[in-house]
Amino acid sequence: MESTNRRDELLGILERSESAIKGTDLADKFSVTRQVIVQDIAILRARGITIIATPQGYIIPPKTENTLIRKTIVSSHKGYDHMEDELRTIVDLGGKIIDVIVDHPLYGEIKSPINVGSRYELDEFMKNIRETKAEPLSSLTDGLHLHTLEVKDENTFNMIKKALKEKNYLFEGQ
């Protein structure tokens, strides 16, 4: 298949999908390597198409009117169990974790998408982290990190902050 046709078909698949699709699954579908898919995604992005890479795969966000609020929290904890508990607390109270951000002493701000808004997505995210034995970004900053959260209203955000503070995850001063 010609690369232009493959990219057009790839774009169509992503536009029709309501969930993320792994790069390896796309590579298998087109009988190419995952690296070819990564390059195709980069070319589609250069065309101005918003494609998000998440731990669950690639996704094009739905085009809906967003009335949700985005806020940032500063957290501090160590280990997979505390990370999972922190994220579960957020989603159980109605929040979505958009990303994680650390301020590395040498490289500056490092930001990575998480896009977890349900227990199922959290379970998949944690399974992926444990299976790959990946270290959380916060391990680079002794546990200190930020999350961008998406919530429906200020009350939801305040409930999340209160719960995280009670669990000693919220960094002092928030």
Query: Which residue segment(s) compose the domain that 159 sits in?
Result: 69-166
Whether the per-residue pLDDT at 81 is higher than 80: the answer is yes
150 vs 147: CA distance, rounded Å = 10
Same domain, 21 and 99: no
Whether the per-residue pLDDT at 61 is higher than 60: the answer is yes
68 vs 88: CA distance, rounded Å = 19
Same domain, 149 and 77: yes
Mean pLDDT of 113-118: 93
- The model's confidence at residue 146, banded by pLDDT at 50, 70 and 90, is very high
Number of domains in the chain: 2
Same domain, 124 and 96: yes
pLDDT digits (tens, 9 = 90+) for 37-60: 999 998 998 888 889 988 889 999
Same domain, 75 and 55: no
Average pLDDT, the chain: 89
Same domain, 154 and 76: yes
Same domain, 34 and 52: yes
CATH number of the domain where residue 110 is located: 3.30.1340.20
Same domain, 49 and 78: no
